[in-house]
Structure 1
């Protein structure tokens, strides 16, 4: 594992909401022409109509981007048994490969089930049934906007549809939603592999506020809109991924890349610190970033070793 100095920091220590770090060149929070345009729009609204600014922030934070499906993702999707699971007023696209004990895959914000496509063949070859889905307003599932409770509830709904879940594999924001589903929606798993996780859901809103220069009062109002429009099904203080992981009893492999440009490595260390009294299997890579981690042959081998290990 690479050496890191002073690893245990909080999101607020590392990222005070009113100071923007040097622009990122890659990742969801990268400096782009669209971001610069959006920053100018918010600058006008913040001065003239802060309520409208908060509503726009809410709309953007609840509308995941729909990333085009790559050819290799489409190919793995074509091999799946696909079904539509009723959910709320819409449906969830559900995909299954193979037979055997069920492994549930939970993708991150703005991704889709086939983001895990390079893991699927190894899991199927090991005698497992892989179950994945596109979250609400993601991929081929219905909707254009979704909320955090809906995402977490969808995880539990797909698990209920699939039957007993032996293993859970989640990535990025999907880790938070899968752990929340365990804490509040009754999801039970025997073991779990968690990639590139943030340590608290509120961090995403802080990063967004910093990216587009939102005043604290405006982003706070945007957060409050999320609470109000979910009928109180969420409170921001309770959305601690670190707390959920500490409460989870499933054997856990936690993976992160030291060069992750979307969810910095300090989140990994904060989760380690929060779980100091609970055993975790840990794996840190270098140079793979936030997404290539999922398809790396060495990482896939590490995941399979963890799933096959005695006691797991």
Structure 2
């Protein structure tokens, strides 16, 4: 379940869902400490990407120290820096085609693997940890020109309060703007014990001073001053296209580029994504 825990999956009644609910609640009642430990592993362990992707020529790898441990960074090109952040169970290698395009346009593309993802350290992944890692990476940059974020990475970028992001353009690719709603709905639809889930979330909230009900990417997007472009596929099964559409309608600084037939992942290699970057690069 961890590979899709941050995404809405439409499910009706099922025997499997009922059994998950029964066994997780029973486990929690009989062995609460062990149950929470198991839940943490289940809910917070992403799938490490095993994609065999050819690296762009000239790519520079560097492991940097952050508050979340060593994060692997990938740098390509020269000039003003665009930072790229991936989503749940993703990795920086998904950005390699776009990084080449950014470098050819006269910029530096700097991507990093989030905690417990790709080649970065960490056993568990969660949004507060993502934000912490991003802020640490940004702290080591003199300045940036803008930021690109895919999927849950969009929530990460919008939730960050780092001064380096102030008045910087943001390119959001298939973002999970309704993050909290999506998360709660997904766990509930899986049948997993919500009480057990809440205990895991409360532990993270306490450790990072980051309560779940304070997470609101759409609100953060509305408060931004700089231009934002969203590239999103109308048939995306994992992140709500309607949330992106609503944001572009309600917020004057947000532009939506809609695609069809690219889904949640293939969109990262699309011409429309390159068009979105061009819009922001020219504006900046």
Alpha carbons 2:20, 2:192 under 8 Å: kept: no
Residue 75 of structure 1 is aligned with which of 55, 61, 75?
Answer: 55
Partner of 2:45: 63
| Alpha-carbon separation, structure 2, partners of 1:58 and 1:269 | 33
Counterpart CA distance in 2 for 1:141 and 1:121 is 22
Residue 131 of structure 1 corresponds to 110
1:16-165 matches, cutoff 5 A: 21-22=10-11, 40=19, 42-50=21-29, 51=32, 53-70=35-52, 73-76=53-56, 79-88=58-67, 90-165=69-144
Distance across 1 between alignment mates of 2:216 and 2:262: 26
Q: Deviations over 1:253-272 (max 9, x none)?
A: 01210110111322213433
Which runs of 5 or more residues in structure 2 are unaligned? 1-7
Q: String of CA shifts for 1:13-50, please: whole Å, max 9, x gaps.
A: xx8xxxx8347xxxxxxx9xxxx5x9745531313524
- In structure 1, the residue corresponding to 2:134 is in which secondary structure? helix
User: Separation in 1 of the partners of 2:201 and 2:183?
Assistant: 8
Q: How does 1:1-312 map to 2 (within 5 A)?
A: 21-22=10-11, 40=19, 42-50=21-29, 51=32, 53-70=35-52, 73-76=53-56, 79-88=58-67, 90-181=69-160, 183=161, 185-188=162-165, 190-228=168-206, 230-231=207-208, 233-272=209-248, 276-296=250-270, 298-309=271-282, 311-312=283-284
In 2 relative to 1, CA 89–225 (structure 1 residues): closer, same or farther, beyond 3 Å? closer
Distance 1:79 1:203 in 2: 41
CA RMSD of aligned residues (A): 2.6
Preserved contact between residue 227 and residue 280 of structure 2 (Cα < 8 Å): no
Cα distance in 1 between the residues matched to 2:97 and 2:251: 33
CA distance in 2, matches of 1:281, 1:271: 9
**d(CA) in 2 for partners of 1:286, 1:105:** 23
Asked whether the equivalents of residues 98 and 127 of structure 1 are also in contact (C-alpha less than 8 Å), the reply is yes
Q: 2 CA distance for matches of 1:39 and 1:102?
A: 49
Instruction: Measure how far apart 1:165 and its partner are.
Output: 0.6
How far, CA to CA, are the matches of 2:247 and 2:251 in structure 1? Answer: 11
Measured at CA, do residues 74 and 208 of structure 1 come closer, stay the same or move farther in structure 2, by a change above 3 Å?
farther
Q: How many residues end up aligned between the 2 structures?
A: 272
Query: Normalising by the residue count of structure 1, what TM-score does the alignment of the two structures yield?
Result: 0.78
How far is the alpha carbon of 1:211 from its aligned partner?
Answer: 4.3
Q: Distance in 1 between matches of 2:264 and 2:277?
A: 20
- CA 1:81–1:303 in 2, change beyond 3 Å: closer, same or farther? same
* Length-normalised TM-score, structure 2: 0.85
